[in-house]
Amino acid sequence: MKFDLLRKSILTILPHKKFQDEEYRKSKAFLDNCNARTIVASSSYEPAEGKFGILVTPDILISDVKSMEFDAFILIGGVGSIEYWHNTGVHNLLKNANRDKKIIGAICLAPVTLANAGLLKGKKATAYNSARSFLKWKGVKYTGNPVEISGNIITAHDPEAIKEFIEAIAGQLAKYS
């Protein structure tokens, strides 16, 4: 499936260490194929390193991101996503994006960041199995499905769901062209 996202700007938030390589690689390739403008943000300008060795040089620091400049925000998972679980700067960025009805996606362990920002309370969401109890404790209606769409927020279970996850994000963006 291909979407025309020519005028869409998407911010990918990468943990600085141990992000899930395939989640980043496959989402980037898909969005590039849809002609979207993709920007990578991280906590440092040093190359971010995936769990399996991919290196990605960020375009911008998370602290410099303005939510109104992007149509969508994608949080890549992996064990490194713990970096943003309690990061108030990231939480505030995502709260602003949510207030403005921007598309917000999180995969694997990254939905914990959304839950800690208060964005998933009372909503259906999914994440990697090890996050299930925590998400339920935060008031999330955890489903365990590969992908969940709850309004403008899209969550995915794990790297196996990356294709469905990124297609859901692109589909939501295409709807609001």
Q: Is pLDDT at 1 greater than 80 in this prediction?
A: no
Q: What is the pLDDT of residue 114?
A: 98
pTM score? 0.97
Token pair listed for 151: 């309004």
Task: Return the closest-CA partner of residue 13 out of 100, 101, 111.
Answer: 111
Report the C-alpha gap between 24 and 26 in whole angstroms.
Answer: 6
In tens, the pLDDT along 151-163 reads: 999 999 999 999 9
Q: What is the pLDDT of residue 110?
A: 98
3-state class (DSSP) for residue 157: coil
Q: What is the pLDDT of residue 175?
A: 85
Q: What is the pLDDT of residue 12?
A: 98
39, 47, 72, 125, 138 from 122: Cα distances, Å: 30, 36, 22, 9, 9
Report the C-alpha gap between 29 and 168 in whole angstroms.
Answer: 15
In tens, the pLDDT along 72-130 reads: 999 999 999 999 999 999 999 999 999 999 999 999 999 999 999 999 999 999 999 99
CB-count burial class (<10 Å; 0-12, 13-18, 19+) for 59: middle
| Beta strand 9-13 pairing with 37-42 | parallel
Domain 9-175 bears CATH identifier 3.40.50.880: yes
